[in-house]
Amino acid sequence: MRTTHSASPVSGRVSRVRTNTPVEPISYEEALARLAGEERGGGWLAYCERRGVFQWPVIEWADALAGALMPLGAKRPLEVGAGGGTLGRAIRERGLPFILTDPEGAADSEVMGDVERLNVEEALETHRPDLVLSCWLPFDLGAEKIIFADGGVRWYLAIVQTGPGFAGSEALWGDHGWNARRVEEADRWSVSRADYLTEVSHGDHIRHGASFLFSRKD
């Protein structure tokens, strides 16, 4: 969902205010250079908030996510909470025909013209997906429970915020009858708004976004 958010002073988790600013795919090296440059100025988080970015569409990251999804052979892939559709389009360009949906839809922006105005329940009912993608959904939305409960969904790729003691919504880790694996081949290229460098504008890259692929147990 393309929105801005502010970190909670208690949990470090986020609240959301919608924006529609498009962002361009960039390489991992370019993303880290941008992070470092912004930290020397007004700050990386503030920079991402102004653009409504949660996960930068890093080229290597999108390549790896598509590589993890292609072998599944999904016939009806769907993104929920797609916002402006940057991530879904990037993966679609790599051969997976994702349908993009968002509760606030596309009526207000040409950039969002292929994003259907559907909430999670409506999107599942309309498109009957076998694969669902989401990226940094609000923690209190309840979308994960809806996705896990849909009998037609076989796979769910959840890209989430991580931090001390949490990885996305608690609903991801309940007794829902699904297997999960972290998509480490993609996470090595992940750059989120919550990331930082150990020496502020240089040093090791500390990541606070992760991808988990859930598969329904047979």
The yes-or-no verdict on residue 109 having pLDDT over 80 is no
Domain locations in the chain?
24-216
CB 100 within 8 A of CB 114: yes
pLDDT in tens, 84-95: 899 999 999 999
Who has greater pLDDT, 39 or 9?
A: 39
CB 212 within 8 A of CB 158: yes
Taking the CB of residue 107, how many other CB atoms lie within 10 A of it?
Answer: 9
What pLDDT is attached to residue 10?
31
Architecture of the domain defined by 24-216: 3-Layer(aba) Sandwich (3.40)
Task: Record the pTM.
Answer: 0.88
Task: Select from 209, 190, 214 the least CA-distant residue to 64.
Answer: 190
Q: Which residue has the tokens 């988990």?
A: 212
* Distance between CA atoms of residues 113 and 105, nearest Å: 8
What pLDDT is attached to residue 2?
35
Q: Is 64 helix (H, G, I), strand (E, B) or coil?
A: helix
* Distance between CA atoms of residues 171 and 108, nearest Å: 32
Q: Is 37 helix (H, G, I), strand (E, B) or coil?
A: helix
Q: Which residue has the tokens 């931090």?
A: 163
Who has greater pLDDT, 58 or 10?
A: 58
What pLDDT is attached to residue 19?
46
Tokens representing 46 are: 């503030």
pLDDT in tens, 141-173: 899 999 999 999 999 999 999 999 899 999 999
Tokens representing 171 are: 């609903």
According to DSSP, the β-strands at 155-163 and 131-135 are parallel
